[in-house]
């Protein structure tokens, strides 16, 4: 038994070695390197390899960093709430209303916009919301307004809307998968025991769908925090988020240790919040669907 | 399901789809609009922007670079993905969880983190930034998608088919080539097309790792600042959207054929 097991381990590890090696070289080593850099000193064109906590002190003492991090967290939280709330009925429709043989087609239709030119899509929201944009010129043409509405673009609201649009399928798919796993006889049981349709949803469907909702929240929240394009294009550079700060330190200012400390700090905050969120939802995750 | 409730959800989903497709629908409208400003009312039909696009040498270079990167990254990611998917579906080995976790990590990591950390390492290792370094980065982020698609293909394989091949005297490699490979081929094609689409559209990693070489997304990004370039970008966007839809439809076609070939029921979707 032990030999069989070790050969299986050996065979498995031999087979997975190439992608594993690639992930170690291109992901694990780089991540550990920026972790190390965040403790080094910046010597203008070189990196001074002396241990220091100065980068972290500078990062957290900087009010700009704290403002931008708070803004990024708030934007990501709003995007997550909007995206998941808007996605849930769609996932529910896909799972409970659409006929099984048509499900693949619906999912395909929902995922298509997600895979098509991210930059152009984000820019088009600027075209839709802008000063001379589709909404303003449309409203002017039909005579509803005389002056273009200025509150549509270059604010947090428009960033939230654009990001919600970008990450929609990310939220729909995990919720859909969780809903698909629900044993339909449980819902019938709830109804047979005299629960109303709404109460059955609240006490049976929703708790069983929670693993999908939790996955959707994390899968939207984490990449949104690090989005670079939307704050740049839709925020007009006036509403930077963490990614803009990292980019500026790494490329424009070229202080790699400080940039690394900012990146690691932001990642640590996101990791802590994600773990906290998982912990708060632990009773739903223990449920075996 | 209550009929009325079902139709309410259907209407909601259709409105949601309209929201998802709104920007994409506007693209061709402005690509053929005879005006330098992107606004209503429309000014008449023109194909000038497509002509301008075709005559732009930087754009041609960016397209060539992007195609080279996307082809290389999708082939590399799919090859690496085959190893990972085969190992994780066929063998139960110690450390499988953490190993697969690391390979799939780019799926949830913000791309800026991947880009920044790769940049630091490549510069420290003295590797000059070029198309090659973008290929390295894109292979990394395409790999998890390829693994996800290929795992579905490999997990549906009947182990007895492989054992039958051994009993009939095939070697490990020839059994893989003659029995397993044809069965998972649709999955491989689907993974290739998916990775190609992702790489072609990826901006952040290319922005950090391409040095001074343009790719399509970095070129588009650089032009967004210039109002007079916008109509041409709309024309380019129209073509890119068309191409993505064709590629994704092909990927979906092959994915479904793979599902049919191995006799599963279709649960749908890429993820």
The two tokens of residue A88 are 């849930």
Q: Tell me the chain B residues in contact with residue A227 when contact means C-beta distances shorter than 8 Å.
A: 110
**DSSP labels, A16-66:** HHHHHHHHIIIIIHHHHHHHHHTTSEEETTEEE----SHHHHHHHH-HHHH
User: At residue A235, what are phi and psi to the nearest 5 degrees?
Assistant: -80, -5
B80: closest chain A residue by CA: A19
What pLDDT, on the 0 to 100 scale, is given for residue A289?
43
Whether A38 and A58 have beta carbons less than 8 Å apart is answered as no
Which of B40, B94, B108 comes nearest A222 by C-beta? B108
Q: Is residue B269 left, alpha or beta, with left meaning phi > 0 and alpha meaning psi from -120 to 50?
A: left
What pLDDT, on the 0 to 100 scale, is given for residue A202?
86
Nearest to A12 by CA among B176, B90, B159: B90
**DSSP labels, A64-94:** HHHHHHHHHHHHHHHHHHHHHHHHHHHHHHH
Whether residue B271 is predicted with pLDDT greater than 50 in this model: the reply is no
ipTM: 0.85
Please report the domains of chain A, with CATH numbers, ordered by start residue: 62-286 (1.10.3720.10)
* Alpha carbon A67 to chain centroid, angstroms: 20
Q: Tell me the chain A residues in contact with residue B204 when contact means C-beta distances shorter than 8 Å.
A: 228-229, 243
Mean pLDDT over B36-41 rounds to 73
What pLDDT, on the 0 to 100 scale, is given for residue B264?
60
User: Above pLDDT 90, what percent of chain B?
Assistant: 37
The two tokens of residue B10 are 């259907």
Q: Tell me the chain B residues in contact with residue A180 when contact means C-beta distances shorter than 8 Å.
A: 267
User: At residue A154, what are phi and psi to the nearest 5 degrees?
Assistant: 60, 40
Nearest to B191 by CA among B144, B259, B241: B144
A257: closest chain B residue by CA: B120
Size of interface A-B (CB pairs under 8 A): 260
What pLDDT, on the 0 to 100 scale, is given for residue B229?
86
CB atoms within 10 A of CB B165: 19
Q: Tell me the chain A residues in contact with residue B152 when contact means C-beta distances shorter than 8 Å.
A: none
CA distance B185 to chain A (A): 19
Whether residue B263 is predicted with pLDDT greater than 70 in this model: the reply is no
Whether B10 and A97 have beta carbons less than 8 Å apart is answered as yes
A80: Cβ–Cβ under 8 A, 6 or more apart, which residues? Answer: A217, A220, A221, A224
**What is the mean pLDDT for each group of 10 consecutive residues in chain A (289 residues)?**
62 90 95 92 77 89 91 94 93 89 86 82 85 76 76 82 88 89 83 81 87 91 90 85 90 88 93 92 70
Q: What b/e string do you get for A216-226 counting C-beta neighbours within 10 Å, with b at 16 or more?
A: bbbbbbbbbbb
Q: Tell me the chain A residues in contact with residue B118 when contact means C-beta distances shorter than 8 Å.
A: 26, 30
B19: closest chain A residue by CA: A165
What pLDDT, on the 0 to 100 scale, is given for residue B82?
94
Is the previous residue joined to B41 through a cis bond, with omega within 30 degrees of 0?
yes
Q: Which of B1, B15, B23, B78 to mutate to test the interface with A (most CBs of A within 10 A)?
A: B23
Whether residue B132 is predicted with pLDDT greater than 80 in this model: the reply is yes
User: Which ranges constitute the DSSP H helices of chain B?
Assistant: 3-31, 48-54, 57-90, 96-104, 111-124, 131-155, 159-167, 172-175, 181-201, 204-209, 216-223, 230-261
Whether residue B130 is predicted with pLDDT greater than 60 in this model: the reply is yes
CA distance B241 to chain A (A): 5
Which of B19, B93, B113 comes nearest A9 by C-beta? B93
Nearest to A31 by CA among B210, B112, B96: B112
Contact B38/A119, CB-based, under 8 Å?
no
Whether B197 and B248 have beta carbons less than 8 Å apart is answered as yes
What pLDDT, on the 0 to 100 scale, is given for residue A189?
84
- Does the beta carbon of A133 lie under 8 angstroms from any beta carbon of chain B? yes
Lowest mean pLDDT among A43-52, A106-115, B42-51, B123-132: A43-52
What pLDDT, on the 0 to 100 scale, is given for residue B256?
77
With a CB-CB cutoff of 8 Å, which residues 258-287 of chain A face chain B? 259-260, 263, 267
Pick the CATH number of B57-261 from 1.10.3720.10, 3.30.2130.10, 3.40.50.12280, 3.40.50.10490: 1.10.3720.10
Per-residue pLDDT tens digits for B72-118:
999 999 999 999 999 998 888 888 889 999 999 998 888 999 999 99
Nearest to B69 by CA among B198, B190, B200: B200
Whether residue B181 is predicted with pLDDT greater than 70 in this model: the reply is yes
What pLDDT, on the 0 to 100 scale, is given for residue B118?
94
- Does the beta carbon of A92 lie under 8 angstroms from any beta carbon of chain B? yes
* Alpha carbon B83 to chain centroid, angstroms: 19
B227: Cβ–Cβ under 8 A, 6 or more apart, which residues? Answer: B36, B37
Which of A11, A26, A228 comes nearest B204 by C-beta? A228
- Per-residue confidence band for B230, with pLDDT thresholds at 50, 70 and 90: confident
**A141 to A144, B23, B26, B44, B181: CA distances (angstroms):** 8, 20, 17, 16, 60
The two tokens of residue A156 are 């947090």
User: At residue B204, what are phi and psi to the nearest 5 degrees?
Assistant: -60, -50
Q: Tell me the chain B residues in contact with residue A197 when contact means C-beta distances shorter than 8 Å.
A: 2, 5
Nearest to A216 by CA among A84, A85, A90, A76: A84
Whether residue B207 is predicted with pLDDT greater than 80 in this model: the reply is yes
**DSSP labels, A78-147:** HHHHHHHHHHHHHHHHHHHTS-GGGHHHHHHHHHHHHHS-HHHHHHHHHHHHSTTSHHHHHHHHTTS-SS
Per-residue pLDDT tens digits for A70-112:
999 999 999 999 999 999 999 999 988 888 888 888 888 888 8
How many DSSP H helices and E strands does chain A contain? 15, 2
B142: Cβ–Cβ under 8 A, 6 or more apart, which residues? Answer: B73, B74, B77, B194, B195, B198, B199
Whether residue B63 is predicted with pLDDT greater than 50 in this model: the reply is yes
A191: Cβ–Cβ under 8 A, 6 or more apart, which residues? Answer: A197, A200
Contact A123/B270, CB-based, under 8 Å?
no
With a CB-CB cutoff of 8 Å, which residues 11-50 of chain A face chain B? 11-13, 15-20, 22-24, 26-31, 33-34, 37, 47
- Per-residue confidence band for B5, with pLDDT thresholds at 50, 70 and 90: low
Whether residue B1 is predicted with pLDDT greater than 60 in this model: the reply is no
- Does the beta carbon of A82 lie under 8 angstroms from any beta carbon of chain B? no
Whether residue B269 is predicted with pLDDT greater than 50 in this model: the reply is no
Contact B116/A246, CB-based, under 8 Å?
yes
CB atoms within 10 A of CB B174: 12
Contact A111/B22, CB-based, under 8 Å?
no
What pLDDT, on the 0 to 100 scale, is given for residue B247?
84
Q: Tell me the chain A residues in contact with residue B79 when contact means C-beta distances shorter than 8 Å.
A: 18
Mean pLDDT over B52-61 rounds to 89
**DSSP labels, B173-223:** HHHIIIIIHHHHHHHHHHHHHHHHHHHHH--HHHHHHSTT---HHHHHHHH
d(CA B16, CA A110): 9
CA distance A17 to chain B (A): 8
Q: Tell me the chain B residues in contact with residue A228 when contact means C-beta distances shorter than 8 Å.
A: 112, 204, 207
B234: closest chain A residue by CA: A120
**B145 to A20, A191, B19, B82, B251: CA distances (angstroms):** 15, 40, 26, 11, 12
**Residue A48 bridge partners (DSSP):** A41
Whether B198 and A111 have beta carbons less than 8 Å apart is answered as no
A201: closest chain B residue by CA: B1
Q: Tell me the chain A residues in contact with residue B271 when contact means C-beta distances shorter than 8 Å.
A: 173
Contact A218/B22, CB-based, under 8 Å?
no
């Amino acid at each position: 038994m032990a030999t069989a097991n070790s050969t299986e381990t050996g065979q498995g590890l031999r087979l997975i070695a190439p992608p594993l090696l690639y992930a170690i070289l291109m992901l694990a080593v780089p991540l550990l390197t920026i972790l190390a850099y965040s403790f080094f000193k910046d010597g203008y064109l070189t990196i001074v390899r002396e241990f220091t906590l100065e980068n972290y002190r500078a990062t957290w003492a900087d009010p700009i960093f704290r403002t931008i991090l708070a803004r990024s967290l708030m934007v990501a939280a709003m995007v997550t709430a909007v995206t998941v709330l808007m996605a849930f009925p769609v996932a529910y429709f896909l799972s409970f209303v659409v006929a099984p043989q048509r499900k693949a087609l619906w999912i395909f239709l929902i995922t298509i916009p997600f895979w098509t030119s991210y930059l152009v899509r984000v820019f088009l929201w600027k075209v839709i919301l802008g000063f001379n944009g589709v909404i303003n010129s449309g409203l002017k043409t039909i005579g509803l307004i005389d002056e273009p509405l200025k509150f549509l673009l270059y604010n947090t609201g428009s960033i939230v809307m654009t990001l919600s649009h970008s990450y929609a399928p990310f939220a729909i798919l995990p919720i859909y998968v969780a809903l698909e796993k629900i044993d339909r006889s449980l819902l019938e049981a709830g109804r047979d025991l005299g629960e109303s349709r709404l109460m059955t949803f609240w006490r049976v469907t929703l708790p069983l769908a929670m693993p999908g909702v939790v996955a959707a929240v994390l899968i939207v929240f984490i990449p949104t925090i690090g989005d670079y394009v939307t704050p740049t294009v839709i925020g007009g550079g006036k509403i930077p988020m963490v990614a803009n700060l990292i980019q500026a330190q790494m490329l424009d200012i070229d202080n790699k240790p400080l940039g690394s400390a900012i990146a690691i700090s932001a990642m640590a905050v996101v990791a802590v919040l994600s773990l906290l969120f998982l912990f708060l939802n632990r009773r739903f995750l223990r449920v075996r669907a | 399901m209550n009929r009325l409730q079902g139709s309410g959800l259907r209407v909601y989903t259709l409105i949601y789809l309209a929201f998802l497709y709104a920007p994409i629908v506007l693209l061709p409208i402005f690509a053929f609009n005879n005006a330098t400003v992107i606004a209503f009312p429309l000014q008449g039909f023109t194909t000038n922007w497509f002509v301008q696009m075709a005559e732009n040498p930087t754009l041609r270079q960016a397209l060539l670079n992007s195609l080279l990167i996307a082809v290389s990254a999708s082939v590399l990611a799919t090859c690496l993905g085959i190893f990972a998917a085969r190992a994780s579906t066929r063998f139960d080995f110690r450390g499988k969880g953490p190993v697969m976790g690391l390979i799939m990590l780019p799926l949830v990591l913000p791309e800026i983190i991947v880009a920044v950390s790769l940049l630091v390492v490549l510069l420290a290792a003295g590797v000059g930034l070029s198309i090659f370094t973008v290929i390295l980065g894109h292979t990394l982020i395409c790999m998890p998608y390829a693994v996800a698609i290929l795992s579905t293909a490999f997990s549906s394989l009947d182990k007895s088919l492989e054992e039958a091949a051994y009993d009939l005297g095939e070697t490990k490699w020839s059994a893989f080539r003659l029995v397993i490979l044809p069965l998972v081929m649709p999955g491989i094609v689907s993974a290739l097309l998916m990775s190609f689409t992702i790489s072609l559209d990826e901006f952040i990693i290319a922005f950090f790792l391409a040095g001074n070489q343009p790719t399509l997304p970095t070129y588009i990004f650089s032009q967004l600042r210039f109002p007079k370039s916008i109509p041409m970008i709309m024309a380019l966007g129209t073509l890119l959207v068309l191409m993505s839809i064709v590629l994704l439809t092909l990927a979906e076609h092959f994915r479904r054929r793979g599902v049919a070939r191995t006799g599963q029921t279709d649960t749908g979707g890429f993820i």
